């Protein structure tokens, strides 16, 4: 990942982390307390699956690529990414 992009992401989001999934580089930020609370409330909603909660975690955290598409990755990879974030 280009150093200039990383610098801009750090400037905008503070602490960021990198990982790779199926050859794609992913950058994510830490969840804020309010984002974490929102995910926790979402998880406790009746009819919401753990996969839905993982999707919310990823939507709140992934900052690069900006057009990150959950549907391009297998469910296990998404679960692993959500676990890394939390």
> How confident is the model over 37-46, as pLDDT tens digits?
988 888 888 8
Positive or negative: CA dihedral 68, 72, 73, 74:
positive
> How confident is the model over 13-49, as pLDDT tens digits?
999 999 999 899 999 999 999 999 988 888 888 888 8
pTM tops 0.85, yes or no: yes
């Amino acid at each position: 990942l280009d150093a200039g992009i990383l610098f801009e992401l750090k400037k905008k989001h503070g602490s960021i982390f990198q990982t790779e999934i199926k050859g794609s580089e992913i950058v994510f930020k830490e969840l804020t307390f309010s984002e974490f609370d929102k995910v926790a409330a979402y998880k406790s909603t009746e009819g919401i699956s753990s996969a839905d909660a993982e999707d919310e975690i990823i939507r709140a955290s992934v900052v690069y690529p900006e057009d990150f598409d959950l549907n391009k990755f297998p469910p296990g990879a998404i679960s692993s990414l959500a676990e890394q974030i939390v």
